[in-house]
Structures are given as C-alpha cells and as structure tokens.
Amino acid sequence: MKIGVIGAGNVGGTLGRLWAARGHQVLFGSRDPGQERMQELARGAGAQAGTVAEAASFGEVVVLATPWHGTQEAIAAAGSGLNGKVLIDATNPLLPNLAGLAVGTTTSAAEEVAGWAPRARVVKAFNTIGAGYFANPTFDGQAASLFICGDETAAKEVVAGLGAALGFDVVDAGPLKNARLTEQLAMLWIDMTYLRQAGPIAFRLLRRPH
C-alpha cells in the first residue's frame, strides 16, 4: 500500500518506519523535505521524503500527525491530494503545556480535520498511546487497544489492518464523532504518564462472552 505521512515527527516518523518495514511504500511529507533529519528518516526507512502536498498525493492512506496548532495549515498545504484518501488523524488538540484539550464536548480534532479536508475519508486512530510504544504495543502479555473512529466502514477496515499489523488489539469505537471520547482518553494517558508518572501504560478494552 502507498502511505503518505504529514508530520513526520514522533508519531508520523514511527508509523512510517514501521509500515515501510512491513513492505508498504512510504513518503514522508515535510515543510522542509531537504533537511538532514528528513533525509535520514527516509534513508533509514527505505522510504522517500517530499513536500506535504507530495505526501498527500502519493498515499492511498495518509497519516496526519502534526501538532494541533499546525494542523489546519498542514491540511491546506496538502490540498486536493487528500481527496478520496483514507486520512488517519492521529492528532490530539492539546493546549500548551499539556493543560488540557482545546476542543472537546461539542466537537473534536477529528471532526475539525474532516471539516478542513471534506473530501477525505477521516479515521481517528493512534492517538491514545505514546508513539514510543507503536513498535511493541504489548503490555504484560496483552496487546494495547487501538481505538478507531470513523463514519466509513471500508476506511476503518484499512486502518484496522494497518493497526493489527503492528500488534494492536483493534477496537471499532464508533463514528467519527466518538473521537470526542478517544481524545479525552488520550488526555488521560498523557496526564497519567507525564503528570502522575504512572507509565509505561496503555488502555485495553476487556471483553467477556455474553
């Protein structure tokens, strides 16, 4: 599969590297694709580096992993390349100093993203656990849950496959609107990890037969 990455930092860089290692074609998008960091990332992953617009055009699936304050600008830079694409929104709408979320009960980062990229097939995912655990999301023998939210089943299935390939326990957490809930879960993970030093931690949905 061809995967474009917008925001090739902790989250985007890690996901792109892991999926490239599993045989996917990856193009890391950057505002400055010529910078040494991007060239090294692409070389090390056996991937390509390009502009944000090139990443959007390249990917059948595009990962959006920008800081919240730069997300609208990044989507504008991606332009029409996002049309029709599965857009994995991994952002969290964090306030400065991790003080909380900039949006919450009446909308979510994911719904804002869908408004800024109205022809993309937005799926919320990879936002409720630190990027440092993407390579091995197993905690005490149990896979961490990957909560995915979206309004289109086929798009969610693509993201579920990419998450399962990394070893996550994939959970369909409902429509895109439910990103309001998973973004709060992300805030709990951040609070527990950084303010309460409770890590390493992850969430898992427990189930038992009816």
Ligand X SMILES: NC(=O)c1ccc[n+]([C@@H]2O[C@H](COP(=O)([O-])OP(=O)(O)OC[C@H]3O[C@@H](n4cnc5c(N)ncnc54)[C@H](OP(=O)(O)O)[C@@H]3O)[C@@H](O)[C@H]2O)c1
Site string for ligand X, 9-28 (x = CB under 6 A): xxxx----------------
The C-alpha torsion from 39 through 45 and 50 to 54, rounded to 10°, is 180
Binder to ligand X among 51, 92, 108, 193 (CB under 6 A)?
92
Binder to ligand X among 45, 74, 146, 158 (CB under 6 A)?
74
User: Is residue 7 within the footprint of ligand X (CB under 6 A)?
Assistant: yes
Pairwise CA distance, residues 18 & 47, whole Å: 11
The piece of 15-23, 79-87, 127-135, 144-152 that touches ligand X (CB under 6 A) is 127-135
Pairwise CA distance, residues 75 & 48, whole Å: 20
User: Is residue 65 within the footprint of ligand X (CB under 6 A)?
Assistant: yes
Pairwise CA distance, residues 127 & 49, whole Å: 23
User: Is residue 131 within the footprint of ligand X (CB under 6 A)?
Assistant: yes
Other beta carbons within 10 angstroms of residue 159's beta carbon come to: 25
Q: Is residue 159 within 8 Å of 150, Cβ to Cβ?
A: yes
Ranges within 139-178 binding ligand X (CB under 6 A): none
Binder to ligand X among 21, 22, 44, 67 (CB under 6 A)?
67
Instruction: Return the closest-CA partner of residue 91 out of 117, 110, 116, 77.
Output: 110
Pairwise CA distance, residues 179 & 146, whole Å: 12
Binder to ligand X among 4, 17, 27, 30 (CB under 6 A)?
30
Binder to ligand X among 2, 25, 39, 70 (CB under 6 A)?
70
The piece of 41-49, 67-75, 112-120, 159-167 that touches ligand X (CB under 6 A) is 67-75
Q: Is residue 187 within 8 Å of 129, Cβ to Cβ?
A: no
Residue nearest ligand X, Cβ-based: 9
**For residue 60, which amino acid is it?**
E
Binding site for ligand X (CB under 6 A): 7-12, 30-32, 38, 52, 65-68, 70, 73-74, 77, 90-92, 94, 127, 130-131
